[in-house]
Amino acid sequence: MADIYVRGGWIITMDSKRRIIKDGAIAIEDGEIRAVGKAEELDKDYRYHSDVVINNNPHDIVMPGLINTHVHLAQGLLRACADYLPLIPWLKDRVWPLQGNYKPGEALASAKLVTLEMIKTGTTTFLETGLVGRYGPDKIIEFLHSSGIRAAVARHVMDMTGYALEENILHEGLIELGDKSYKDTIRLYHKYHGWDNRIWIWFGPRTPGAVSIELYRKMAEKAKELKTGITMHLAEVKADVEYTMTKFGKKPVEFAHWVGLTGPNVVLVHVVWATDEEIKLLAETKTTVSHNPCSNMKLASGAARISDMLKAGVNVALGTDGGPSNNDYDLLREMKHAALLQPLRTLDAKAIRVEQVLEMATINGARALMIDHMVGSIEPGKRADIIVVDFNKPHLKPFNNPLSHLVYSATGYDVKHSIIDGKLVMFNGKVLTLDEEEILKEADKAAYSLYERAGLCREPETIWPIE
C-alpha cells in the first residue's frame, strides 16, 4: 500500500553507490520513500494497492528533483533588461535601479514566475540568495510554501552601500542600513524556519563592499547558533579580488574565512577567481561553491575552476542565477553549460564527467543546503522529491546513454512529472499547485508597471527596426 507508486523507466538513484535501476519502481507513503527496486519485485505489494500509480515508459528517466543553489526570485521580471554588460555596470545601471523600484505586488509576481519556471523544469528545491524589505518577503515566503516547492530563503544583510572598491553605488531603493536587515532576518527565521521541513531562512550578506567586518562576524556567529546557513556572492569578477587584496591584504576566500564565512553551512556563489590555496581552504572547511556557468559566461566574469575544485574535494553545486544574467532558471540547461565550460577552460575533453555534473545538480546541492539526510537521492527513508524525464523525444534518441543525454541533450521542459515531499506537484507538464495562466499574465503586467516607474527596459533592446 502506497500513496504514490512510480513504476517503469530507469531510476538514477544518486544513492551512496550511485545505483541505476532499469525497469525500476518507487513506493511513496506519507511523503517518504518506502521502497526502491525493480518493478517486477515491488509490483506485488504496490501495483494494485496504491492510491496513485504513475506508469512510465521503459526509457523514461526517474531521478531526484534538481536543486538550484543560486536563485534571484526578484530578477524574474528583469529578463532581457540588462544584456551586453559586465557585472558592475550591469548592477549599477540596470539591475539595481529596477529592483530598487519594486513594489511588493510586483516582486511577488516575479517570485511566482520564477517558481513556476523552476517547477516546470524539474527543480524541487532552491536557495534564494537575498530578499529585501521592499519585496515583501513574508508574502513571497508564504507563496513559496503554498506552491509545494522546497526553499532555503536568504534575506539580504548589509550595512554599507558599495560594491568592491566602488563606494555608494547601491541604488537608494535597496539600501537598508544599521541593523534593520540583520534584525529582519532573525524575525523571518523565528516566523518561518523549518516550516513543514520545506522552508528555511538563511542569512544573505551582500558582497564585500556592502557589509562591515563586524556585521559579517556577527552574522556568522548567529548562523551557527541558529543552525542555519549563509550564502554570499564571492570572487565573481576581478574587482572582487582587488577589493579584498587592497583593503585587507587577503584573497577573497581568505577574506571570507577571516570573517567567518566558510564552513558546511556556507554557500559561496561563483568563486570564479580562486587560487590553489583558496581552493584548498574551501575543501578543508567543507564550504560549498555554487557554480553558475551561464551567468559567468554572459557577464564575461570568467570561467570558474570547477574541475580543479572537484579534484580538491570541494562540494560544488549548481545554480542558474537570475533573469538578467542567464536568462533562464532551467537547471537542466545549466548542467549542459557546466559540462561544456570546463573542457573549454582547460582544453582537456576529460575535464569533467556527466556523472559529476549530475551530482552537482542533486546530492551536492542537498549537502549545500544541509538537507542531504532528507533529499538529493532516491533511497528509502528520504523525503520523496522525484522527477520523471520524458525520453520519447527526437533529441533524446537513440537510447544508448541516458546520463549523457540528460546533461548534454535534455532541457528542463523534458521533465513531465514532479513529486515534492511526496506530493504530485506537476503531472504531464501541468503544474497542479499553481494557476499557470494567471502567473504569466500577472508577470507581464507587473513588469510593465515596474519598467515605467524605473524608466528602464520599456522598449526591446535591439539593433533591428520594429515597425
Q: Which residues lie near Zn ion (CB under 5 A)?
A: 321
For residue 463, count other CB atoms closer than 10 A to its CB: 4
292 versus 418: smaller Cβ distance to Zn ion:
292
Beta strands in 174-245 (DSSP E): 199-205, 230-234
321 versus 442: smaller Cβ distance to Zn ion:
321
Contact 67, 367 (CB under 8 A): no
10 versus 329: smaller Cβ distance to Zn ion:
329
State the minimum distance, in angstroms, from the CB of residue 225 to Zn ion: 27
Q: Rounded to the nearest 5 degrees, what angle is found at the Cα of 185, between the Cα atoms of 222 and 325? A: 110
State the minimum distance, in angstroms, from the CB of residue 253 to Zn ion: 17
321 versus 390: smaller Cβ distance to Zn ion:
321
State the minimum distance, in angstroms, from the CB of residue 292 to Zn ion: 7
Name the DSSP class of 78: G
Contact 111, 76 (CB under 8 A): yes
Name the DSSP class of 420: E
240 versus 442: smaller Cβ distance to Zn ion:
240
Name the DSSP class of 432: S
State the minimum distance, in angstroms, from the CB of residue 207 to Zn ion: 9
- Cα distance between residue 293 and residue 270, in whole Å: 8
State the minimum distance, in angstroms, from the CB of residue 130 to Zn ion: 8
315 versus 320: smaller Cβ distance to Zn ion:
320
The residue with its CB nearest to Zn ion is 321
Tell whether omega for the bond before 398 is within 30 degrees of 0, i.e. cis.
Answer: yes
- Cα distance between residue 323 and residue 80, in whole Å: 7
321 versus 334: smaller Cβ distance to Zn ion:
321
- Cα distance between residue 335 and residue 350, in whole Å: 16
39 versus 73: smaller Cβ distance to Zn ion:
73
State the minimum distance, in angstroms, from the CB of residue 87 to Zn ion: 10
* Residue count (the chain): 467
State the minimum distance, in angstroms, from the CB of residue 398 to Zn ion: 38
Tell whether omega for the bond before 327 is within 30 degrees of 0, i.e. cis.
Answer: yes
State the minimum distance, in angstroms, from the CB of residue 208 to Zn ion: 14
Q: List the one residue out of 155, 4, 15, 182 whose CA is nearest residue 72.
A: 155
269 versus 371: smaller Cβ distance to Zn ion:
269
Packing angle between helix 137-147 and helix 104-120, nearest 10 degrees?
A: 30
State the minimum distance, in angstroms, from the CB of residue 236 to Zn ion: 8
- Cα distance between residue 199 and residue 212, in whole Å: 28
Contact 290, 270 (CB under 8 A): yes
